[in-house]
Amino acid sequence: MADDLGKLFDSSGRVKIIRFFLMNPGGVFSLSQITKSAKVSKEKARQELNLLKDINFVKKGRSGKEKVYQLNNLFQYNRALKHLTIESVPVSRDLLLKRFRELGRGLKFVALSGIFSGLSDGGPDILIVGDNIRKSRLDKILSKTESELGREIKYVLFDTKEFKYRHSMYDKFVMDVLDGEHDVLMDSLRP
């Protein structure tokens, strides 16, 4: 979907930056914050921000000596852009499953919640259960997905033993995720 939007908008970097601002409507961000979150080069971000400023999608200002940008909440197409870039799922379930499988055989369970279920209630967006999961590999997967979503992903990682214990004790945190709106991406915990 993100690639289709990139073709439609002539740039996947522009789509990522648009999504970033729409997901963070009250924020004021420096160029380096935008490039880090959207995973685009400074040169590309500068070019896209100039274009977005020219059409009044973003406003440019200063914070001390640093240039900063923020969403123009009065931009007439914000609602349509939000629907197109956020409410239509920018990262497919199949792509997420493929990425998480890169964590290896130690991965036992992944449940999507929060922003993946259309909610942003403060709970985790992803619940992961696995053993010997390499944090660096998990961070890389989440970072790439965050750049496509335009916002930070909240996740929790349990080893199998701890998750089974918490589940058997009806731990409130675990049960809130499992009883709430969620989508099980993979489950190899059950025999």
137 has pLDDT over 70: yes
- Predicted local distance difference test score (pLDDT) of residue 1: 45
- For residue 169 the two structure tokens come to 């004790």
- pTM for this model (two decimals): 0.63
Q: Average pLDDT for residues 157-167, to the nearest whole number?
A: 95
What CATH class is the domain 2-87? mainly alpha
For 30, the enclosing helix (H) or strand (E) is strand 28-30
Please, are residues 150 and 24 in contact by the beta-carbon 8 Å criterion? yes
Task: Express as a percent the part of the chain with pLDDT over 70.
Answer: 90
Residues 84-118 have pLDDT tens digits of 776 655 677 888 999 999 999 999 999 998 877 76
* CATH 1.10.760 corresponds to the domain 93-187: no
Do the bridges between strand 126-130 and strand 107-112 make them parallel or antiparallel, or are there none, so unpaired? antiparallel
pLDDT top residue among 186 and 39: 186
- Predicted local distance difference test score (pLDDT) of residue 16: 85
String of DSSP letters for 107-171: EEEEEE-GGGGT--SSS-SEEEEESS--HHHHHHHHHHHHHHHTSPPPEEEE-HHHHHHHHHTT-
> What is the residue extent of each domain of the chain?
2-87, 93-187
Residues 66-84 have pLDDT tens digits of 999 999 999 988 888 887 7
